[in-house]
Structure 1
C-alpha cells in the first residue's frame, strides 16, 4: 500500500466515490486526483468539484471534463456502424462508456505523474472488468485499486458510518436504501438491483425517467428524417448537428414517443445472470435508421457478413475489450463497409415503436428496372433456370448417393 504515491480516481461526487476518496487517503496515505466526466448523464458536475475541495483535494488535482462529443463521435458512432446488440437486444449503453473513462484516467495519470488509478465498481459486476482491461491495455504497469474488492465497508450502514466519522456530507436521500442502482449517459440510462431483482415482477413506472409510457405517448405518429454520411448520422429533419447534439435530439423525440424501453435478463461476463431495465430512446431510433440506410446502400454479401461479425463485436464491447486487437480488426472491416452508406431514412415513431417508412441514397443499389413486376428489358427470366440447376446440383447428387 505504501508503494502508491498518487492515484487518479473516477469520481462522481456521490456517497460511494466520496467515501472511496477519503478511504484512499486514509488507507494508502496517497495524493488523490479526481476525474469527473460529463458523458451526458444529466447531472450538475460542479457539486463534485466542491465536494472534492471539501475533502482536501487541491484545485489543480480536480479534473471535470465535458466529453459528450468525444463519447458520441469516437465511441457510440463506431459501435452503431456495426449495428451492435448484445444477446440480441442490448444497445450497450453502459459498456461503451467505460473505455472512454478508462482512457482519460490513464491520460491524466500520465500527465500528473500518478502511479495508480481507482474506480468504484463492485466485485460482482462487469464494470470492474471493463475499467481494468482498459487501464492495462493503455498502461500495462499501472497499479489498480478497486476498493469494493479490498475494504470491509460491505453495507450501506457501514458506508454512512464511515462518511459520518470523516465528516463527509451525506445527502438526505442517501441515508435510506435507494430502490435501485442507476447508471446514465447520453446514450442510455439503466436501473438494476433492489426492487428489480425478481425477474417475474414487472418494473414499476417510477423506474423509467427518459421515456413516457408507450400507452401515454401521443396518439398521432411522429415522422423524422435522419441523414447519414459514410455510416454516421449527420442531420435530423434536414438540420446538420454535431454528434452529441444529434443524439440529444433523437433522445427527445424517442422519449416523447415511449421508444427504447428494454427489460433484459443478461449474462454478465463474470458469470451470473442479472436483470436490467434500460432506456435508450435516441439510440433505438439511430439503430433502426442505420439499418434502414444500409438496406439500400450495402451489397448483400457485405451486409450478411456484417451481421455474422456483429455478435462477436458486441460481445467484445460488453466484456471490456474495446482496446483489443480483435475489436480494432473488426472495426476496420466494419468501417470499410460504410463508404457507400450515405443517404436519408424516414422513420415513423408511434407509441413505443420505430419503423422505417422511406429511404433514399445517391448510392442506392435498388433498381426498379430489375425488380419491377411490369415488363422490362434488363433481366432475362430464363437465366434463372441455369442458376437454380447449378445450385441444385450438389443436392441432386447427394440424393442419388443416399437412395
Structure 2
C-alpha cells in the first residue's frame, strides 16, 4: 500500500470536544435544563421539527449537550451529537471574523470603498421606485467595507421582500450554486441598490461580497482561506462548503413540507460540491464544531492557545454599529437589539420579547440553527435543527429556556 493510498483510507480527524462538567458546577440547574429538553421533545412529538441538538456551555465547559428526535424524517437514525447541518447564515460570523483578521494585518481600512477591490461596484446606482418604475440615481457615497459587515450597503436579498430591486434579484442567477464568487459579486454589482449606502439596515448578500474580498486580498479561495485561518486552527474538522459522501448517513434533513403551512421545503444538497463558496450562507457544520468557534469568541478570540482574532477587534465587532440615522428594515433586528460587524447584538435588558443580557451577540441560519454568546454570564448556547419555518419560534423559545436555567 502506498502512502497516498493509506492517507485516503485513514479516518478523517475528529473534532476535539470541549470539556464537559456537571451543570450544577457551572451555575446551571439540571432540572431546568431537562425541562428545556423536554419542551423540545414535545415540539418534536407534535411534528414541529424532525429533531434538534441543544448545547449550553459556561465557564469554558459544556454543561448540557442533548440530542432529540430523528436526524431526518425519512430515516430511523436518531439525532446525534455529530449530525451535520446546513448552518446557512451562521456562515456570516465566521467570514466576518476572517475579514477582521485581514484588517488586523493592514490590508484595508473599514471605510475603504469596496470598489477599490471590486471595480464593478464603482458604477452602481440606487433604484428608487416611482409609480411602478425604477429610477436609477447616483450614489451619495460609495459602499464601504464597514457597510458590508453591518448590512448598510444597500445590497439586498431576493427573499426579504418584493420591491422592484428585489424582483431583479429574483429574476437573476444570483441564487445559482454553479457560479463562482467573482461572477456572483459582478452580478450583484450589476443590479441597483435598494437604498443609499449607510442609510438603512437591510439584511443582504453583503457577506457574500466580503467572501469575494477575502479571495482578492488573500489570493486564495474563500474555503482555503477559512480553513487556514479559522477552521484548521480551531480544529473544526467537520465545517466546509459541502460534506463528503462518507458522511451521507450523518446529514440532518427537514420535513418535505412545512408542518405549519404545508409549503414545500427544499434545501441544498450537502453532498453536492458547489462552485460558489457562499460567504453569506454556504457552510455545513456540526454542533461541536460550531461550539469551538463559539468558545473562541467567548474567550475573546483565542482557543487552546490559538489566537484567531484580537480581543479588542472582537469587542469592536460585538459593539453597536448602527446610529440613530440608520433606518432598520425588516424584523431580523428585534426591539432592544442592533447590529455590529457580522453579529446581532443586544443593547438593552428590557423591551425585547425574550430573555438575555446587554452585550450578548449572536446570529442564526434560515435552516433552523442559532447561537449566541453572553459575555456577562460567561455563557454560549447553540441550537441546531433543520426546521426553516419554525426558526423564529425556536430561537425565542430556546433563549427563554436557557436563561431560566441559570442559578
TM over 0.5: no
Q: TM-score, normalised by structure 1?
A: 0.22
Structure richer in helix, relative to its length: 1
Larger radius of gyration between Structure 1 and Structure 2: 1
Of structures 1 and 2, the one scoring higher in RCO (CA 8 A, sep 6+) is 2
TM-score between the two structures when normalised by the length of structure 2: 0.22
